[in-house]
Amino acid sequence: MKKLIFTIFLLVQISAVFSQGKNSRIANLRSFDERPLHFGFLIGINTMDFRVYNTGVPVNDNNEILYADVVDLTPGLNIGIVSSYKLTSDLNLRFLPGISFGQRNMSYIRYDENGLETGERKTFKIKSTYLEFPLLLKYNAFRMHNAKPYLVGGFNVRYDLAKDKQEVLLLNSLDGYLEFGAGFDFYLTYFRLSVEAKMSIGLADMLNASGPNEPTPAEMEYTKALDKLNSRIFCLTFYFE
């Protein structure tokens, strides 16, 4: 992941150098925004999180309670295709199908009936591979020479291909996300580079109460400890158009 971030940073720096040209006062790609339709690709990094709702009720006959939370954030990868259609001079409709890979580290703490912590904290890796189908509106501000800020928002449908491969929890495969963010367009000599930060808020409960396939009573405790899980995803994305 560090190599990927370094490669993206190096590519941006090289592009910025070439974009200066012999006369940095000349605007690059002056007719780019006049095109009704254009395409490109995206690559980015993400961090996946859960908003965890614990039941707070005993999970076994010993009246033990499990408390769960996502303890740290692990970077993942996004790749996809860009299709952008010009609606007005300030508004674009963007369809960005792609795939993303990520991981959440779910940690459980066990308490006895007196509220005292017992045993060791257990952490489980929950990996996800999402097919993504975002449909977003991009609002463009005024172009400032070779840069332009913008806002983006819309709806994304994600389907998790790895939901049946979890050992501790069984997740639902389909979720809808509200997405919003902001970024900058940079008009380089040969293409436009956009850097965007975006937040995705899942609307559905991702927890499947039936638990993993053929769970033991001990394994089922991890599902009983949870009321529901809502997904949260933060993305830093680079667009090349």
More confident: 163 or 103: 103
CB atoms within 10 A of CB 21: 12
pLDDT tens digit sequence for 191-202: 999 999 999 999
Question: Is residue 18 one of the residues assigned to a domain?
Answer: no
User: In the predicted model, is pLDDT for residue 17 greater than 90?
Assistant: no
Q: Residue 217 — pLDDT band, cuts 50, 70, 90?
A: confident
Q: What is the Cα–Cα distance from 126 to 192, expressed in whole angstroms?
A: 36
Q: How far is CA 185 from CA 47, 148, 227, in A?
A: 23, 5, 42
Q: What is the band of 21 on the pLDDT scale with cuts at 50, 70, 90?
A: very low
Please tell me the predicted confidence (pLDDT) of residue 3: 56
Q: Is residue 24 part of a domain?
A: no
Reported pTM? 0.86
Q: Is the pLDDT of residue 209 over 90?
A: no
Query: What pLDDT, in 10s, does the model give residues 138-193?
Result: 999 988 889 999 999 999 999 999 876 677 888 999 999 999 999 999 999 899 99
For 16, phi then psi, to 5°, come to -65, -40
The Cα-based distances of 58 to 63, 64, 66, 109, 225 in angstroms read 5, 5, 8, 13, 8
- Which CB contacts under 8 angstroms, 24+ apart, belong to 12-20? 12/193, 12/195, 12/238, 15/188, 15/191, 15/193, 16/186, 16/188, 18/188, 18/189, 18/190, 19/146, 19/186, 19/187, 19/188, 19/189
Looking at the domain assignment, is residue 27 inside a domain?
A: no
Number of other residues whose CB lies within 10 A of the CB of residue 192: 19
- Rounded to the nearest integer, the mean pLDDT of the chain is 88
Local confidence band at 85 (pLDDT 50, 70, 90 cut-offs): very high
Q: Which CATH number characterizes residue 128's domain?
A: 2.40.160.20
* Mean pLDDT, rounded, for 56-80: 90
Does 14 map to a domain? no
Residue 17 resides in a domain: no
Q: Look at residue 107 and tell me if it is in a domain.
A: yes
Structure tokens at 222: 């991890």
Number of domains in the chain: 1
| Domain membership flag for residue 234 | yes
Which residues partner with 133 through β-bridges?
157
Q: Which domain holds residue 195?
A: 2-8+37-240
**Phi, psi at residue 18, to the nearest 5°?**
-65, -25
pLDDT at 211: 82
Burial 90-106 (b: 16+ CB within 10 A, else e): eebebebebebbbebbb
Give the pLDDT of residue 16: 54
The answer to whether residues 122 and 73 touch, using CB atoms and an 8 Å cutoff, is no
- How much is the average pLDDT of 205-227? 86
